[in-house]
Amino acid sequence: EDQVTQSPEALRLQEGESSSLNCSYTVSGLRGLFWYRQDPGKGPEFLFTLYSAGEEKEKERLKATLTKKESFLHITAPKPEDSATYLCAVQPISSGSARQLTFGSGTQLTVLP
Amino acid sequence: DVKVTQSSRYLVKRTGEKVFLECVQDMDHENMFWYRQDPGLGLRLIYFSYDVKMKEKGDIPEGYSVSREKKERFSLILESASTNQTSMYLCASSAVGQGSYEQYFGPGTRLTVT
């Protein structure tokens, strides 16, 4: 069974204090790993897709990396507007024609001014 | 930009009522999905569709049904709403073809069943 575990569940940072969020996964074969951002009361917003170990993607203060067992979302010098829940999802090779995703429970990030 | 819209942001229904949640996407995506999101449980897939009139059960289909009569529209139906179906419901869509199949989400419908 495919599993995605995110840690920590919640993280509080001071503005400018860099940190990393972790996404550990267990799948029979990985087609892709996805990161989303979700603001309270809204739908998730797509951030990145990673396909293979060693791959990195960047967007503003966010950088996502991938190994064979986990992914990290690094946040450099965060600002209060980076506060959100960050979701990780995997797309197994075994997913059908619709390429469905399995999501983790998310990390709730709070950046204090 | 991909746009996914959902018929209601907030909905309050009584136990036993039939509830319809509608989702529309404007990007000609083949795949559409319904999830529910509950604190501590993350997003759980209820049903998905990979083509008009085609549907497949996700991880938690019990108590739900779906309809996809047009490519852009995917409806979630609660045949007889129960209090344990109080949740945030999210619709998503994705394209088929070369690439990553990332899903794009609507704003969500917060359903309360009393």
Query: Which pLDDT value is given to residue B100?
Result: 64
Chain A residues touching residue B49 (CB < 8 angstroms): 98
Contact B102 A51 (CB under 8 A): no
Domain of residue A33 covers 3-94+103-112
Region B46-50 average pLDDT: 95
Chain A residues touching residue B48 (CB < 8 angstroms): 98, 100
**DSSP 8-state secondary structure symbol assigned to residue A100:** -
Cis peptide before A44 (omega within 30 of 0): no
Would you say residue B45 lies in a domain?
Answer: yes
Would you say residue B75 lies in a domain?
Answer: yes
Contact A97 B100 (CB under 8 A): no
**Greatest CA separation for chain B:** 45
> CATH no. for residue B92?
2.60.40.10
pLDDT digits (tens, 9 = 90+) for A36-90: 999 999 999 999 999 999 999 999 999 999 999 999 999 999 999 999 999 999 9
Chain B residues touching residue A106 (CB < 8 angstroms): 42
- Distance (Å, whole) CA A39 – CA A60: 17
Would you say residue B30 lies in a domain?
Answer: yes
Domain tally, chain B: 1
Region A10-19 average pLDDT: 98
pLDDT digits (tens, 9 = 90+) for B1-15: 669 999 999 999 999
Confidence of residue A2 (pLDDT cuts 50, 70, 90): confident
Domain tally, chain A: 1
Of A49, A96, A104, the CB nearest to B102: A49
Cβ proximity of B24 and B71 under 8 Å: no
- Distance (Å, whole) CA B92 – CA B35: 8
Q: Does A72 touch chain B (CB under 8 A)?
A: no
Q: Nearest-CA distance from A107 to chain B in Å?
A: 10
Alpha carbon distance, N-terminus to C-terminus of chain B: 37
Encoding tokens for residue A86? 């960050």
Contact B106 A41 (CB under 8 A): no
Average pLDDT, chain A: 94
Domain of residue B77 covers 4-96+106-113
Would you say residue B101 lies in a domain?
Answer: no
> CATH no. for residue A51?
2.60.40.10
pLDDT digits (tens, 9 = 90+) for B13-39: 999 999 999 999 998 999 999 999 998
- Distance (Å, whole) CA A11 – CA B42: 17
Cβ proximity of A23 and A71 under 8 Å: yes
Tokens 């609660």 -> residue: B78
Cβ proximity of B77 and B64 under 8 Å: yes
